[in-house]
Amino acid sequence: MDKNRVVMQKYELMLLLNPNTMDEVDDFIDGLKKVITDNKGDLVDTKLLGKRQLAYPINNMNYANYVHLDVNVEPETLNLLEEKFRYDQNVFRHLTVKLTS
């Protein structure tokens, strides 16, 4: 197996975003898209699921904007994305699921 071969993986990302930043959701997703495409990945699908009530308050908020993304990226790119989620104060929670073919 070639060591330089790029191994793309399929992932589903679920994000819970601050509901008070509705106007910035598109900018946030554009930033994610830039990180993905700059690292030769592919943003397959984006679903804005809207503002939904949370089961319990997060950061004193009872609602969050739900965003679902399907991506094809290298594991290193996924690490960059997860680091971005971890340090962005508008991302309440994130979940990454690796899809198998």
CA separation for the pair 5, 35 (Å, rounded) = 20
CA separation for the pair 70, 46 (Å, rounded) = 7
Tokens 């971890």, located at residue: 86
Q: Is residue 16 part of a domain?
A: yes
| 73-85 per-position pLDDT tens digit | 999 999 999 999 9
As for how many domains the chain has, the answer is: 1
Report the alpha-carbon angle 77-43-72, nearest 5.
55
Q: Is residue 64 part of a domain?
A: yes
Domain encompassing residue 55: 9-99
Domain containing 33 — which CATH number?
3.30.70.60
Q: Is residue 51 part of a domain?
A: yes
8 A C-beta contact, residue 52 and residue 83 = no
> Considering the entire predicted model, what is its pTM?
0.87
Q: Is residue 20 part of a domain?
A: yes
Q: Is residue 4 part of a domain?
A: no
8 A C-beta contact, residue 13 and residue 78 = no
| 8-52 per-position pLDDT tens digit | 899 999 999 999 987 788 899 999 999 999 999 999 999 999 999
Q: Is residue 29 part of a domain?
A: yes
